[in-house]
Amino acid sequence: MSLSLVSPVPLQAAFSPKRAVGGSDALSHDFKSALRHLASGVSVITTGLAPHRTGFTATSVSSLSVDPARIIVSVNRHSSSHDALRRSGVFAVNFLSADQIDIAHAFSGFGGLKGEARYAGAEWSTLDSGASVLEGALANIDAEIEEFIDRHSHSIVIGRVLAARSARSGDALTYWRGRYDPLIASDSAAIA
């Protein structure tokens, strides 16, 4: 059997032929359109102490390194959580389960909810840092801020992980092509 290095699908046919010919606005538009195709897990980032908590829904969560345990999230500099994060120095990342879509809406500011009001109707506890962790989430990661890097419209927050806990089962909430989508676990036994 011989392997062909030539793709059987012409690239022009496989991808939209749209090009960023109109400068940075057009490039940003194309970039944003491309990002809609990146399926992401949905998290809620919490910060502050009751009754002065706030937080936001985020897809920009990523692990920076496992050893040492570091987590990254990007926060918009205009968001109410930006300065709150900087002030508190700690945060928690909660990976939402498929049935927590209402919490995703609340923390994205849907319906005009702000600050502490976003926490209503869900059960919260704390681990090490004092930031709120969401009961029923797929996992909770508690962190203190190691570095806050202001860059363009956002700040990159690097968190030193203080504690992490995971559920033994559950379906994930994802965001893909501009909408929330449940991701149903095909094999719950695969969860370590």
Binding site for ligand FMN (CB under 6 A): 42, 56-60, 74-76, 79-81, 107-109, 114, 175
Q: Which residue, 40 or 128, has its beta carbon nearer to ligand FMN?
A: 40
Residue 44 C-beta: closest distance to ligand FMN, Å: 9
- Nearest to ligand FMN of 79, 129 (CB atom): 79
d(CA 61, CA 189): 25
Distance in angstroms (rounded) separating the CA atoms of residues 149 and 96: 26
Using the minimum distance from each CB to ligand FMN, give the nearer residue, 42 or 133.
42
Q: How far is the CB of 61 from ligand FMN (least distance, A)?
A: 7
Q: What phi-psi label fits residue 89: left (phi over 0), alpha (psi between -120 and 50 degrees) or beta?
A: left
Kindly tell me which of 80 and 126 has the beta carbon lying closer to ligand FMN. 80
Smallest gap, in angstroms, from Cβ of residue 49 to ligand FMN?
17
Least distance from ligand FMN to the Cβ atom of residue 28, Å: 16
Determine how many CB atoms are found less than 10 A away from the CB of residue 46: 29
| Backbone dihedral angles phi then psi of residue 156, each to the nearest 5 degrees | -95, 125
Asked if residue 99 lies in contact with residue 54, where contact means CB atoms within 8 angstroms, the answer is: no
